[in-house]
């Protein structure tokens, strides 16, 4: 192991090699009662390490850089931009169980807008980390507000948590909705209501 600087948390952490991670997964396989040496499991630790790199790639990405490129030639457009039904695949930080759902993101530009794909990309960066849904919702909103200097931002996430659908209380149909509003969306209920109608959370 070697020490590396973690810029997210500004502290020294141990850099774990792929081989060390694979050995850890072998230990877990043995702990659950399996034989890590049997044919069907020989490559499993390596596959799991590869999968975890994809699940948690957000730790190596800077969300603010996603919004670096903006456009000012919008001819004075100053109403909300809404992107809905952005798929969310994350993992809860308490049980490392999947969080599966949809995110809806809106902002009111002041002078500049961002490419539409960047909104989904921002959701992706924060989702690919261990999360709580509440924190995830706020991180997306705060980053969008700060990076674009927007007049207002709204973020909604509607998801299922497999830590409560597959284990524990086992309520398979339960979903969780979180909302976070900044700027005009927080100060003016008419903006909130329009936004909620757009994403079909509230119907007339």
Model confidence band, residue 11 (pLDDT cutoffs 50, 70, 90):
low
pLDDT score for 73: 76
Whether 133 is catalytic: yes
Task: Give the pLDDT of residue 10.
Answer: 47
Those residues with Cβ within 8 angstroms of residue 8's Cβ, 6 or more apart along the chain or in another chain: 59
Residues 51 and 72 in one domain: no
Say yes or no: 80 and 157 in one domain.
yes
Question: Is the same domain home to 7 and 86?
Answer: no
Number of domains in the chain: 2
> Where do the H-state alpha helices sit in 13-74?
18-31, 44-55, 63-66
CATH number of the domain at 13, please.
1.10.286.10
Task: Tell me how far CA of residue 153 lies from CA of 40, 45, 86, 102, 127, in angstroms.
Answer: 49, 41, 16, 17, 18
Q: What CATH number is attached to the domain comprising 118?
A: 3.30.1130.10
Among the listed residues 94, 146, 172, 187, the single catalytic one is 94
Which range has the worst mean pLDDT, 6-15, 34-43, 154-163? 6-15
For the question of residue 95 being annotated catalytic, the response is: yes
In the structure, what pLDDT confidence band is assigned to residue 43 with cuts at 50, 70 and 90? very high
Question: At residue 203, does pLDDT exceed 70?
Answer: no
Residues 84 and 182 in one domain: yes
Domain boundary among 17, 36, 55: 55
pLDDT at 152: 98
Residue of 139, 161, 184, 192 marked active site: 161
Structural domain contains residue 204 = no
The verdict on whether 163 is a catalytic residue reads: yes
Q: Residue 8 CB: number of other CB atoms within 10 A? A: 11
Phi, psi of 57 (to 5 degrees): -70, -15
Statement to judge: residues 79 and 169 lie in one domain: yes
- Of 34, 61, 89, 93, which is the active-site residue? 93
| Boundaries of domain holding 83 | 62-198
Catalytic residue, from 92, 131, 184, 192: name it. Answer: 92
Which one from 104, 124, 163, 192 is the annotated catalytic residue?
163
Task: Establish whether 94 is a catalytic residue.
Answer: yes
pTM recorded for the entire structure: 0.89
């Amino acid at each position: 192991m070697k020490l590396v600087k973690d810029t997210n948390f500004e502290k020294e952490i141990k850099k774990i090699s792929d081989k060390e991670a694979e050995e850890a997964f072998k230990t877990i396989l043995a702990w659950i009662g399996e034989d890590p040496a049997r044919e069907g499991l020989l490559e499993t630790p390596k596959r799991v390490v590869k999968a975890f790199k994809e699940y948690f790639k957000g730790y190596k990405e800077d969300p603010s850089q996603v919004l670096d490129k903006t456009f000012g030639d919008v001819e004075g457009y100053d109403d909300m931009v809404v992107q809905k039904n952005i798929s969310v695949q994350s993992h809860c930080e308490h049980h490392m169980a999947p969080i599966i759902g949809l995110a809806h993101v809106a902002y009111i530009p002041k002078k500049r807008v961002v490419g539409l794909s960047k909104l989904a990309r921002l959701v992706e960066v924060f989702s690919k980390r261990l999360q709580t849904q509440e924190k995830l919702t706020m991180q997306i909103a705060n980053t969008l507000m700060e990076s674009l200097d927007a007049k207002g931002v709204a973020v909604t996430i509607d998801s299922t948590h497999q830590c409560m659908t597959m284990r524990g209380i086992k309520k398979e149909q339960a979903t969780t909705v979180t909302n976070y509003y900044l700027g005009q969306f927080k100060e003016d209920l008419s903006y909130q209501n329009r936004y909620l109608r757009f994403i079909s959370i509230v119907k007339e």
